[in-house]
A and B are shown apart, each in its own frame.
Chain A
């Protein structure tokens, strides 16, 4: 289904969505970055730099209350929100991130806390001329309920699910030829980072990267955990139990495999007790294990770890370094 919306249509659509969903749209935050926040009926920031926070955090938050165990022996799960989430404004990489962790949390045994939020949610992609200074952003062509594509004058809307079709049903059909042109533009964009990540992945799988490299890289790690916390495909968590007035609350919180305690044994021995081992393992997971398991890397090319790393050893930086040194 292809539709065409003008600016008024878009606002009408958002108004309609806000009745059924807790609608989050991109907005400019105080410091000038963009983030997904509840729509207030008027403000949106539909174009600009990528969203600062990974959207996967809305389904798998940094602190996620799981269950409250009352002193009376009763267990209660959090009530949850009245309305399901609708996330508007995700680019191709953000959508890939959600799709990646969907697969993880949906795998048996399924994670019902995650799925409860996720399955009821509506996901809206946002691509086309919506980058910084209206730069073109590649089309998603899936991985969402519907995709809003900005051409130079209108919004094209492509539905991929029944839900997506339902919400777009009232709007006029869009021009197929314009969509085709946008698709061609999108496919013509060569991602330099994508090439480097794929080549680095192949080199790692072929065991072409020696430990001395990881020693160098890990010597620059300051153990902030930012690479994990910023990564949309990182799903590791630990469990925290806390006393409340009338029982204990169990939550899961984001973990980081760059931390020493991540794999430390109760004895105190740590099979991953150095930054070298941990850094190598983290990158191997994304670029060696994930391709073997899922047929794709665990890096969805969003660049967040490169932005979050204070010392310049994010995924793109590491892959560039691997390629420049070991790709013969």
Chain B
């Protein structure tokens, strides 16, 4: 009987719980950590059930090699040698940039670091990316430009100290339940709540103002609010003068965004825009909270810029209870970005194109490194479909269900000369692999994860992995060694020591410190530094906060006569992403056992569709069958489909139109047609 404190494997809130295990090494349950600052003795439904998938009989327990279309078990040595040789052969024949490495927001900081080292030092390419490309790449681009740092500016504790929360494009109580609950508690205490979302989510029931704007009209809404703030003279002039630059350009850019103009684009009433602007500007401290509703657009970076402009304009930055707070989706998506599992940066966002940075990593790794930024994950899918990417290593991701336009993804994966997948379950993506390696899951290995509030925390091994499964860090070390790169780490703690040496924002982080506390928030530049709960206090990371004007651009594909409804995709409270874990957790899968589409009763009536009836949903890219769920959660003209399900996969329909800067697909808007089955 054992209780092992660890970090939850699901969202980025960073809750901690105890893994309870019996003498036979089986998990028996979960208990929330009573005194942890994020969980506070509480968990969401997924957290309470985070043990449930671990012993599922589908777990991969042996390396598998595909021969004549069928997988056969093989030994580790030959599996690792095959991966190394095949990827090297492709690199030799077509150049290192014909390879692509997908890292994962589900593996630790140490593992992300090792995979980016493997791609760069081992195989000589910067073609490494991970699923942040699909969630917050717009944030990183937008906030780095305006503030200098692409992370959540404030901490979870700030919800206890704010006068107003402006939630836009975040279904917080479902996607970050322990943050959503803080918002609800704050609202009960008198904090004002503005929610901008086209769906009637739980938060909208409690909001002082619900802005039900058209999907994709965020820039118009936010610009309209800023124009009104300037018109009313409610901007923070002192903050603007001392801490920002480029206000005049912003001011000019806002001229067209009158309430009437914004109302036409957003579908809101003039007065709602004015009321929202005044409430936000008048609050002594106001927090902006956002997620995929902002980022997953072909103009996702502009959405982020606009929000950053709004915070700068009112001086809501660098103080408790303020800030721009992108909620990171996965438990280590912040860390995967921090560790440089991105095509253009090493760990700590040190640019590969910067000679000094490149030299530093090159010396540490004793290997010449490529200087051109690599390919984004979304571009790599297109490149593979076009035959330009020929070899791929995918670690703990499932692009078959998570990337936009599944037909294209299928074509891409089929097209590869060689695909290796490292995962805990035989995912839809693993079916395309030539070789599959079995990994230990979060409960079976040590490491660190970085939560949405930049808190670096320990994940701890509670039980042994099944069969011959290995922790990812050991798999990656074995591959590094085959590439001739030194990788004689005894444990993830040794990897963290190397990360700290090379990464200024993690320089003060080591396992001894993490063992004695509940985590350190980066930047943590030295071993005495207590961590940084609030960014941009005296000045922004880049110096002056930069106003970056934006113009309204509509989504790439809007409803028309042939495809008359707008499709928005996302997650539910019960399931996690592509369902590989939650669909194998009994209580969770029972709660939502199959794909469905939320459709407004008005639309259902006109289409002659009844509750729970099976319907066809088709877009220009494909067609799926799902159950209809009649609800006014979605406005007339819109359907919402979660992307958790392999049967009825929402991403068969979605549009892989990318934001030109961040490369994020437009998951939140495309046009579909619905017919009864």
Contact = CB atoms under 8 A, between A and B. Distances in A.
Interface of A: 22, 24, 29-33, 35, 37-38, 52-53, 57, 61-63, 81, 219-220, 222-226, 229, 238, 240, 242-245, 253-256, 259-261, 268, 307-312
Contacts of B173: 222
A253 B1 contact: no
Given A24-B1, A29-B18, A32-B35, A312 B45 contact: no
B612 interface: yes
Given A219-B202, A222-B573, A268-B612, A238 B586 contact: yes
Contact of B52 (A31, A222, A253): A253
Contacts of B35: 31-33
Contacts of A32: 34-35
Interface string B23-57: 10011111111111000011111011001100111
A303 B178 CA distance: 19
Given A24-B1, A31-B5, A222-B202, 11 more contacts: A29-B5, A30-B5, A33-B41, A52-B31, A53-B31, A224-B42, A242-B56, A245-B57, A255-B587, A308-B43, A311-B185
Contacts of A242: 55-57
Contacts of B34: 31-33, 52, 307
A193 to B, nearest CB: 17
Contacts of B185: 311-312
Contacts of B3: 29, 35, 37
B180 interface: yes
B612 A222 contact: no
B181 interface: yes
A63 B177 contact: no
A310 B30 contact: no
A38 B2 CA distance: 8
B389 to A, nearest CB: 37
Given A219-B206, A253-B587, A311-B184, A224 B28 contact: no
Max chain B Cβ within 10 angstroms of own Cβ: one of A225, A244, A254: A225
Contacts of B181: 222, 310-311
A53 B408 CA distance: 48
Given A222-B44, A224-B177, A311-B184, A38 B590 contact: no
Contact of A229 (B48, B174, B205, B590): B48
Interface of B: 1-3, 5, 16, 18, 20, 23, 26-36, 41-45, 47-48, 51-52, 55-57, 173-174, 177-178, 180-182, 184-185, 188, 202, 205-206, 518, 573, 586-587, 590-591, 612
Given A29-B5, A259-B587, A308-B32, A224 B184 contact: no
A277 B622 CA distance: 39
Nearest to A64: B28
A245 B27 CA distance: 18
8 contacts: A29-B18, A61-B29, A224-B42, A225-B587, A226-B43, A242-B57, A253-B586, A312-B188
B590 A238 contact: yes
A63 B54 CA distance: 12
B233 to A, nearest CB: 37
A63 B591 contact: no
Contacts of B16: 31
B58 to A, nearest CB: 8
A223 B184 contact: no
B518 to A, nearest CB: 7
Given A37-B1, A268-B612, A57 B29 contact: yes
Contacts of A224: 42-45, 47-48, 177
B593 to A, nearest CB: 8
Contacts of A260: 591
Contact of A35 (B31, B45, B182, B587): B31
Contacts of A244: 57
B28 A61 contact: yes
Contacts of B30: 62
A30 B36 CA distance: 10
B177 A219 contact: no
A307 B41 contact: yes
A259 B3 CA distance: 27
Contacts of A24: 1
B466 to A, nearest CB: 11
A253 B586 CA distance: 9
A111 B55 CA distance: 25
A239 B177 CA distance: 26
Contact of A223 (B5, B45, B178): B45
B41 A52 contact: yes
A29 B23 CA distance: 18
Contacts of B178: 310
A63 B50 CA distance: 12
B591 A261 contact: yes
Contacts of B28: 61-63
A240 B41 contact: no
Contacts of A33: 33-35, 41
Contacts of A238: 586-587, 590
A100 to B, nearest CB: 20
Contacts of B55: 242
A242 B180 CA distance: 34
Contacts of B182: 310
The 6 closest A-B pairs by CB, nearest first: A62-B29, A310-B181, A33-B34, A243-B57, A240-B586, A31-B33
A306 to B, nearest CB: 10
Max chain B Cβ within 10 angstroms of own Cβ: one of A229, A307, A311: A311
Nearest to B18: A29
Contacts of B206: 219-220
B31 A222 contact: no
A225 B46 CA distance: 10
B205 A219 contact: yes
B36 A31 contact: yes
Nearest to B205: A219
Contacts of A240: 586
Given A226-B43, A242-B56, A307-B41, A259 B177 contact: no
A31 B587 contact: no
A95 B672 CA distance: 58
A164 to B, nearest CB: 23
B111 to A, nearest CB: 23
Nearest to B629: A268
Given A31-B16, A33-B35, A310 B42 contact: yes
Max chain B Cβ within 10 angstroms of own Cβ: one of A30, A225, A240, A245: A30
B594 to A, nearest CB: 10
Max chain A Cβ within 10 angstroms of own Cβ: one of B23, B34, B57, B188: B34
A170 B522 CA distance: 58
B465 to A, nearest CB: 16
B624 to A, nearest CB: 19
